[in-house]
Amino acid sequence: MNQIDHISGHTFHGRKGAIENAFRYSIDYILLDPENLPKTPFLFSINRPNAMSWRERDHGGEPGHGQGAIWLRDRFDEMGVEQPARLELLTQPRVLGHVFNPVSFWFCFNAARQLYAVVAEVTNTYGTRHSYLCHNPGFAAIQPSDRIVADKLMHVSPFQKIEGNYTFRFDYRPERVGVWIDYGRANGGLIATLTGPRVRLSNRSIAWSLLRRPFGARRTFILIVWQALKLKIKKARFVPFRTSPVPDHPISRSRES
């Protein structure tokens, strides 16, 4: 990958159960190879401020103190997982210096250029992070129709307990990308999606996004708070973060079958 892609896409969240709630918003993501960064447009910078930017420290480890791809490769060694021949990171960029990424995705490719693993890097509004290593049995190539299940281990929404599991589905193509997460638990759950076309990141695409979504991740956070307020009005049960344990390990594996 010799360029950074701009995904001007949409995210959908739909709550399941007795108290339903749904929303669909436009959103900006970028897709890049963090180990082979190309020359960037004037309005985009790596590891320094700009209208839109990306910082390595935002990923791979504690939020704001990450090590990027080095962290992920160290975890793969610890877990005895084959090292990727190439990595690509799907994440929200910083906009005017600010970022909040509820979830980013590390796409891992083997020597045959097959997608064989995806690491979902989940960060909650309390500043806690946990990653889920998603893969098929035997690390077979991941197809768009594959469903990969992982147990939920970290508190994310203040209206959902730590129980149940995530079912992930990934559709990675040269022209577009799609991620579907179906969170299931007793008497409820949530469906979350991210879909959008891939285009080369350019000054024009950045400027257009800043006109449409000038507050970037701040907008994402405000929308999260707005949806939480709506759930509170609907009398959804609030689960305090202090009652939820933090995972012992920074990364966990999906189920083998």
* The pLDDT of residue 28: 93
Contact (Cβ atoms closer than 8 angstroms) between residue 234 and residue 21: yes
Question: pLDDT by residue (tens digit) across 152-202?
Answer: 988 786 656 788 899 999 999 999 999 999 988 766 678 889 999 999 999
Residue 209 CB-density burial (10 A; 0-12 exposed, 13-18 middle, 19+ buried): buried
Question: pLDDT by residue (tens digit) across 79-88?
Answer: 999 999 999 9
| Cβ partners under 8 Å of residue 211, min gap 6 | none
Amino acid code (one letter) for 238: F
Q: Which of 105, 121, 147, 96 is nearest to 9 (CA)?
A: 105
